[in-house]
């Protein structure tokens, strides 16, 4: 039974570690998506974006797009010297935040940027483990907690069941 306990502890630890490093996929604008007349500065201001998180843009593909520009062109809504074109044509685009820096994203089409379709995201390095510092971001902490709960309960239940069966097998010998 000692070996089972060690096994359970190892699995729990592995899942705990996995839960704390889970990358988050942010739907830009939440249920309003990528549209004019939304203040994306307000949308982003209470969030922390960490390395390897994703931004998910959902929008009308014939009207808007997702263009990455530098800070100057972000301020002036100028899409003519893009750093990257994240649009793939379906109106459903993922931006992988794989570098710790500012990402300046605008819609270069249809006057979208002048209508507010501009997003400045600062990507931070991965968060410290929750135990060593208070988690400020409520969205992330709820994700981690619920992710943890599912990942925790299932393996513990499974390994407890295996442990019980194992004990019975050993007793038969
Ligand atoms: C969006 O909100 C920010 C922060 O409250 C504010 O500084 C900015 O002027 C707003 N932008 C627009 C276009 O209203
Ligand atoms: C952004 O690029 C423009 C050229 O398109 C350049 O004039 C400007 O200095 C750049 N701004 C920054 C902050 O790098
Ligand atoms: C961005 O790339 C898409 C898909 O390749 C293309 O359809 C679109 O015209 C490009 N947009 C710009 C502004 O380069
Ligand atoms: C980040 O992603 C971009 C675009 O997919 C890629 O060109 C670049 O090499 C990546 N950088 C790192 C550090 O992984």
Q: 39-92: per-residue pLDDT in tens?
A: 999 999 999 999 999 999 999 999 999 999 999 999 999 999 999 999 999 999
Determine whether the shortest distance from the Cβ of 89 to ligand 3 is under 6 A.
Answer: yes
pLDDT bucket at 22, cuts 50 / 70 / 90: confident
Q: Please report the pLDDT score of residue 4 as a whole number.
A: 52
Q: What is the CATH number of domain 25-124?
A: 2.60.40.420
CB proximity list for 20: less than 8 A, separation 6 or greater: 127, 129, 130, 144
Q: Whose CA is nearest to atom 4 of ligand 2?
A: 81
Q: 143-171: per-residue pLDDT in tens?
A: 444 434 444 444 444 444 444 444 444 44
Q: Whose CA is nearest to atom 12 of ligand 1?
A: 39
- Among 134, 80, 136, 83, which Cα is nearest to 109's? 80
Determine whether the shortest distance from the Cβ of 108 to ligand 3 is under 6 A.
Answer: yes
Q: 100-135: per-residue pLDDT in tens?
A: 999 999 999 878 999 999 999 999 998 766 665 454
- Among 52, 56, 68, 46, which Cα is nearest to 118's? 68
Q: Is the pTM of this model over 0.95?
A: no
CA of 10 relative to ligand 2 center, distance in Å: 51
């Amino acid at each position: 039974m000692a070996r089972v306990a060690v096994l359970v502890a190892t699995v729990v630890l592995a899942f705990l570690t996995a839960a704390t490093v889970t990358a988050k996929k942010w739907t830009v604008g939440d249920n309003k998506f990528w549209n004019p007349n939304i203040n994306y500065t307000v949308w982003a201001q209470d969030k922390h974006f960490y390395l390897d998180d994703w931004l998910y843009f959902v929008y009308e593909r014939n009207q808007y797009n997702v263009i990455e520009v530098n800070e100057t062109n972000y301020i002036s809504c100028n899409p003519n010297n893009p750093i990257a074109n994240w649009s793939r044509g379906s109106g459903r685009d993922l931006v992988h935040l794989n570098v710790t820096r500012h990402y300046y994203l605008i819609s270069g089409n249809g006057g979208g940027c002048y209508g507010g379709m501009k997003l400045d995201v600062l990507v931070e390095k991965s968060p410290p483990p929750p135990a060593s510092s208070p988690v400020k971001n409520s969205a992330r902490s709820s994700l981690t907690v619920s992710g943890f709960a599912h990942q925790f309960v299932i393996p513990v239940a499974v390994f407890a069941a295996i442990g019980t069966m194992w004990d019975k097998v050993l007793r038969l010998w």
